[in-house]
Amino acid sequence: MTENKGNILQNKSSGLGIRNKLLLWFLIIALIPLVVIGFASYKLSSQALEKQSFDSLESTLVLQKKSLEDYFSERTRNLENLAGDVLMLQQRTFATMAAVRDLKKEQVEIFLRDRLRDVLEFAGSPLQRDVLTGLLSGTSGAAGKKYVSSLKAWAVQRSFSSVLVVSPEGRVIYSSDPVIKKGISLRKIKGTPELTAFQSGKKTATFTDFSLSALRNSEPAAYFSAPVMRGSTVLGVVLCRLDAASLDRIMNEQIGLGKSGESYLVGRDRLFRSNSSFYDETTLASPAYLVDTESVEAAVGGQSGEGVIINYRGEYVLSSYAPVKVAGVDWALLVELDLSVAMTPKSKGTERDYLAEYAYNYGYPDLYLLNPDGYIYYSAKQRADYQTNILSGPFSKSGFADTVRTVLETKKMVVSDYSRYQAAGNKPSAFLAMPLVQNDAVVMIVALQVPIEQISAIMQEHGGKGDTYLVGSDGLWRSESLQPGRYNVKSTLLNEKTKLDTEPVRQALAGHAGTKITVNGLGEKVLSSWKPFNYANLHWAVISEISKQKIDQPVNRLTRIMSMLTVGVLLAAFVISFLASGGITRQIRAIMDVITRVEEGDYSARAKVISSDELGRMASSFNGMIETTQGLIATRQEENDQLQESIMGLLMEISDLAEGDLTVRATVREDATGTVADSLNMMLEELSDTIGNIKKSSEQVGTTANQLSSSTDKLAARSDQQADLITHSVEEIKQMTEAIEQAAEKANTSAVSSEQSRNAALEGTRVVEETSRAMEAIRGNVQDTARAIKRLGESSQEISDFAKTINEISDRTSILALNASIQASAAGEEGRGFAVVAEEIQRLAERAAGSTRQIETLIKNILGDITEAGSSMDASIQEVIQGTALSEDALIKLQDISNRSNEVAVLIDEVSKATSEQAEAAVKVAKAMGAVGVISTDTADETRATSSQMKGMASVTARMLESVAAFKLPQDENEGVVADNDELESLVVSDEGIEG
Amino acid sequence: MKTEHRDWTRSDKAVVAMSQAKGNGGQDIFFLFTVSQVEEVLSEIPVRGIPFAPDFVEGMCCWRGQIVPVVDIEKRFGFSGREHSSSDRYLVVRTGAADANADALLLHGVFRVSGEVKVIDAGAESDIVFPREIGIEPSLARGTYQQRGYFLIVPDVALILQNEQKTDIL
């Protein structure tokens, strides 16, 4: 009763009441649709907003990428146009310079040609001859003196600085030169231009090029000189000194060259032939000014042309050059113009030049023109890098320098990535550079700096709500962020602090485009869209992103509204559910009270019927059920008392069973114990049978143990026999060992024989070596013979040549005889005697021709024989060489045999050793067999011990039979206990028998 | 008809030049000159070519200080040309008589022949044949004969050289 009470209390306390359950279910039913609708609207609106944002981001990205591509394409086109302009400027300048050069060349040539003609006319005039004769003899007279006085004027009119008239001996007989006085001998000082002019002028009209004259205080002088002749006699030499100022005047005319241009003359010795307008001192023929430029090299080599070079002042210039070869003059004419001035024309009234204006209009921070060697000869801004060499100068390790290098390597337009450029105030700078290529060679590079502000402006143009930016392959920003303050920096451009390694950056740099919710550089959750941007050498990532928080704002508002609605609905549902469940549970509670009392054993309790619905009907049925249960409990008590009595009777009947009496049987009644008694009787029957069987089996085991014991004895005897056999085997192994020792001795004998055969092989080697030497000697002899035959052939050829000569002589003799014959015949009767002689000569010539033909035939035969002999000698040499090779081969083989003999000897020695080891092993085997014999004896002893153990087992079996005999079996009652005792004794007797 | 023809030479001797050319029937051909016609026989002579000259005119050469034309006589008679060889001979011939008319500016010429040149007795008998039988232009030969199976052609030296001198050569 107490347990029941506990269960009821437990049931009451555990689980919810129906009212509570109903309340709970009502609330759940009200909540589920609300939650489902709320979740669905949140999810759908969130997805719609995300999709809209992604679409917006992607379109922004496409727009900006397109804008960026357009920007770079436009910049490239600009640069191409600019390059075209620059090339056109260069060509125009070259054309102008070539025109100026040709004009000046013509002027110089006409000038020099006229001077030569003047000198020739002067030297060739009869008046001059007369005057000179007079001067020489000192009797020139009044006319002569007058002529002499007009000479100075003549010289000045013809651009000669002075005139010298020199006697054939080299003495100055007339001089208009204030430095060189009349009467001095030019031969006095060697190497002067005056002496050279005199010496060469004595022979013909000559030009003597400028050189420093020791006679004229080391001033440069050049002369036109010519001889004054009377007939073939040289009366004297006229030396006219060239006026250098005249050449300077031609050169210094600056038409078409501007202020920075110049033109000058250079000799083959690379010294000036005119004065440079850039130096105050005299450069003419001055060794201090060496003009060894590419243009001079080309012009002196006879070529005309134009090019960009470094001039004698170390400046980059456009140079136009041509050779001047006239009247014995061999010079180079050069017209040069400063490169930066030539390439950048400036319109009148403008502040900037053409290129600077261009850069200003397009907003380029700087614009450059570079020589292919890297020299920046033009810069619109003229910053620190202007007039430096970008490849080797102070900025050679900049991104700009790398760009120029790439342009020179690829000969193509290159766009460099942004990097900090020191010359631009360490600001991030990118460059667009384009080469001008002519004849597959870069002649100039046009470069411009791309303003980063324009790139950033493009990025911010279509930004919308989000942020769009560019990232380089190094993860650094290539555009300015809209809000750099968010990154705690002033500028995000190339800023290491804002280096990005986000998924969009990695993906875009790897060449993939995509859209995803991810985390940006600030660790914020963002919607990000990205694309790779590739233009020429640029590989950037364009990324457009918008904060997830911004997108989620409307959704979050919706969520808040939904939550409030849910709470209100829940409260309303609770109140309604509470009221409804109260009405339902009153009848249930009345039933529950009655059930509790019944559980406590109070079967008199009845439930009050309150409602007329299913619960009311259930209360009245429950009252009926309690009454039925009361009747059933009284009937069951009587049946229990009867069963108790039957069980007691059965226990009394089977009490003897405990003493091992298996003959007892229980009485089978009709009540519930009847079945138990029947089953017990059947079990006792089966137990009796089993114990009987155990008895029989024990007897059989005893018998078998006895039989096994006798078998083991036999096994012991066999083991003894085995030991005897092993002893016999040991004897035989000893005999085998002796035989192996004999074999070892024979192997030693074989080693001696092998040594003998090795000696024989060595002897053979020596003989073959001698043969080989003999063959070598034969080869020498045969080659000598071949040479002798060749010499014979050459001699025969010489004889053949002689025969040809004889043939020619006989041919000519024949013609001679023929002509003589004709002449004789023409002479008629007078020539008859001569005709006879001619005929005789003819016959002689014919015979000589016949003999020569025979000699030729003979020599041809001899030459044939010699060729044959030569071939057979060659064959002999080949055979001798083959013989030598064979004997060398034989020698190698004999040496091989000798080596093999050595190896055989070693092998035989090893066999001998192995045989000895075998003999030792056989002895060991014999010992081992002996040990096996001992083991066999031990086995026999062990077998005997086993036999005695088997006997022990038989006695154990006898003891087991004794134990089983304690049970009283039904068959024992029939046969009597005596039989059991006999069996036991027989086993004991048998045991004794074995022992005996 | 056998006839003894001795009228084509003024002496008993004649100069005969063998030719590599063959007649229509494969007969050997000889050019025959009188001794007085032949000035000299040469084995070689330097010849300078003349632009736009006929095929048979080999050029000009200088012989004893005179400029004389060199004519391949075989080609002149219409026989096929052949390469020069060491057995070639050059015959310096007179154009004719000393009484040449005023137009005869040229007194000598050189004929190139491809075979041996010999002085023979001019007394052998021969038959007259028509130039067409040999296959040559009749006007260029003063006579054509057959003797022991070969043809003899007596070239009209004056006609060949004068003609050339006036029309084709100069």
Q: What is the 3-state secondary structure (H, E, C) of A661-678?
A: ECCCCCCCCCCHHHHHHH
Residue of B10, B32, B37, B41 for testing the chain A interface, max A β-carbons within 10 Å: B41
Q: Tens of pLDDT along A380-392? A: 888 888 888 888 8
Stated as kind and residue range, the H or E segment containing A799 is helix A672-827
Candidate from B11, B36, B41 with C-beta closest to A818: B41
Mean of all residue pLDDT scores within chain A: 79
- Highest mean pLDDT among A195-204, A795-804, A946-955, B90-99 belongs to A195-204
Mind telling me how many Å the CA of A815 is from chain B's nearest CA? 7
Which residue, among A703, A699, A705, A709, has the nearest Cα to A982 in the 3D structure? A699
> How many Cβ atoms from other residues are within 10 Å of residue A100's Cβ?
20
Residues of chain A with Cβ-Cβ distance to B35 below 8 Å are 822, 825-826
Interface membership of A818 toward B (CB under 8 Å): yes
More confident residue, A926 or A223: A223
Choose the closest CB to A818 out of B11, B36, B117: B117
pLDDT at position A902 is 80
Confidence of residue A15 (pLDDT cuts 50, 70, 90): low
| Contact residues, chain B, for A816 at CB < 8 Å | none
**Which residues touch A935 (CB under 8 Å, ≥6 apart)?**
none
Contacts of A828 in chain B (CB under 8 A): 11
- Residue A314: which region, alpha, beta or left (left: phi > 0; alpha: psi -120 to 50)? left
Q: Which residues pair with A420 in a beta bridge?
A: A428
Measure B46 CA to nearest chain A CA, in Å: 16
Kindly report which listed range (A170-174, A423-427, A659-663, A827-831) carries the lowest average pLDDT score. Answer: A659-663
- Cβ neighbours around A719 below 10 Å, total: 18
Quote the tokens at residue B18.
């063998």
Instruction: Tell me if A159 sits within 8 A of A240, measured CB to CB.
Output: no
What number is the average pLDDT over the span A979-986? 50
Q: In a 3-state reduction of DSSP, which class is residue A606? A: coil
Please indicate if any CB of chain B lies within 8 Å of the CB of A658.
no
Partner-chain residue, chosen from B35, B42, B89, that has the shortest CB–CB distance to A825: B35
Query: Please, is B91 exposed, middle or buried when counting C-beta atoms within 10 Å of its C-beta (0-12, 13-18, 19+)?
Result: buried
Q: Does A821 touch chain B (CB under 8 A)?
A: yes
Q: Compute the half-sphere exposure of residue A719: CA atoms within 13 Å on the CB side of its CA.
A: 18
Best of B10, B12, B13 to mutate (most A CBs within 10 Å, chain A): B13
Please determine, for residue A659, whether its predicted confidence score (pLDDT) is greater than 80. Answer: no
Q: Which of A63, A891, A141 is nearest to A468 (CA)?
A: A63
Element (H, E) at A227: strand A219-230
The pLDDT of residue A348? 65
Rounded CA separation B31/B73 (Å): 9
**pLDDT of the residue at A992:** 43
Query: Residue A976 in 3-state DSSP?
Result: coil
Distance from the A821 Cα atom to the nearest Cα atom in chain B, whole angstroms: 7
Residue A279: strand, helix, or coil: coil
* Per-residue confidence (pLDDT) for residue A146, from 0 to 100: 66
At A967, the pLDDT band (50, 70, 90 cuts) reads: low
Answer yes or no: is pLDDT of B18 > 80: yes
Nearest CA of chain A to the CA of B68: how many Å? 19
Q: What is the mean pLDDT of chain B?
A: 78
> Biggest alpha carbon distance in chain A?
207
Taking contacts as CB-CB distances below 8 angstroms, the residues of chain B near A822 are 15, 35, 38, 40-41, 119
Q: Give the relative orientation of helices A978-995 and A832-964 as an angle to the nearest 10 degrees.
A: 130
* Prediction pTM value: 0.44
pLDDT score of A38: 79
Q: Tell me if A383 sits within 8 A of A423, measured CB to CB.
A: yes
Alpha-carbon Rg for chain B, nearest whole angstrom, is 15
> pLDDT exceeding 70 applies to what percent of chain A?
86
Q: What percent of chain B has pLDDT over 90?
A: 9
Residues A325-344 pLDDT 10s = 887 788 999 988 887 777 77
Beta partners for A240?
A163, A224
Q: Does A844 touch chain B if contact means CB atoms closer than 8 Å?
A: no
Across the interface, do B35 and A822 touch by the CB < 8 Å criterion? yes
- Return d(Cα B64, Cα A905) in angstroms, integer: 102
A828 touches chain B (CB under 8 A): yes
Judged by a CB distance cut-off of 8 A, whether residue A767 touches chain B is: no
Chain A residues touching residue B38 (CB < 8 angstroms): 822
Q: In the structure encoding, which two tokens stand for residue A314, read together?
A: 């170390």
Confidence at residue A968, expressed as pLDDT on a 0 to 100 scale:
65
Flag whether pLDDT at A693 surpasses 50: yes
Q: Which residue type is seen at B10?
A: R
ipTM rounded to 2 decimals? 0.82
At residue A959, the pLDDT reads 66
3-state secondary structure A114-142: HHHHHHHHHHHCHHHHHHHHHHHHCCCHH
Task: Give the mean model confidence (pLDDT) for residues A664-689.
Answer: 77
Contacts of A805 in chain B (CB under 8 A): none
pLDDT in tens, A346-364: 666 677 787 888 888 888 8
Q: What is the DSSP string of A910-957?
A: HHHHHHHHHHHHHHHHHHHHHHHHHHHHHHHHHHHHHHHHHHHHHHHH
CB of A822 within 8 Å of a chain B CB? The answer is: yes
Indicate the burial class of A777 (C-beta count within 10 angstroms; 0-12, 13-18, 19 or more).
Answer: exposed
DSSP state of B114: S
Q: Which CB contacts under 8 angstroms, 24+ apart, belong to A319-322?
A: A319/A293, A319/A294, A319/A295, A320/A94, A320/A97, A320/A98, A320/A100, A320/A101, A320/A295, A321/A101, A321/A295, A321/A296, A322/A101, A322/A102, A322/A105
According to DSSP, the residues that pair with A433 across neighbouring strands are A414, A447
Long-range CB contacts (< 8 A, 24+ apart) of A668-677? A671/A642, A671/A643, A671/A646, A672/A643, A672/A646, A673/A643, A673/A646, A673/A647, A673/A649, A676/A650, A677/A650, A677/A653
Percent of chain A clearing pLDDT 90 (strictly above):
1
Whether B10 and chain A come into contact, CB under 8 Å, resolves to no
Q: Which of A811, A825, A828 sits opposite B119 (nearest CB)?
A: A825
Residue A263: closest CA among A336, A342, A341: A336
Confidence band, pLDDT 50/70/90 cuts, at residue B92: very high
Mean pLDDT of A808-835: 84
For residue A542, what are the β-bridge partners? Answer: A470, A531
Half-sphere exposure of A730 (CA within 13 A, CB side): 16
Kindly state the tokens that stand for A459.
């990025």
pLDDT at A632: 76
Query: Can you tell me which residue has the tokens 């017990």?
Result: A680
In the sheet that holds A329-338, the strands lie side by side as A262-267, A329-338, A316-326, A305-310
Q: How far is CA A321 from CA A99, A108, A109, A295, A304, in A?
A: 11, 14, 15, 6, 5
Asked if residues A285 and A272 have their Cβ atoms less than 8 Å apart, the reply is yes
Check if the beta carbon of residue B39 is closer than 8 Å to that of residue B90: no
Each residue's pLDDT tens digit, A53-104 = 888 888 888 888 888 888 888 888 888 888 888 888 888 888 888 888 888 8
Backbone angles phi, psi at A372, to 5 degrees: -60, -20
**Confidence grade of residue A515 (pLDDT, cut at 50, 70, 90):** confident
- Least-confidence region, from A420-429, A641-650, A896-905, B56-65: A641-650
What mean pLDDT do residues B98-120 have?
72
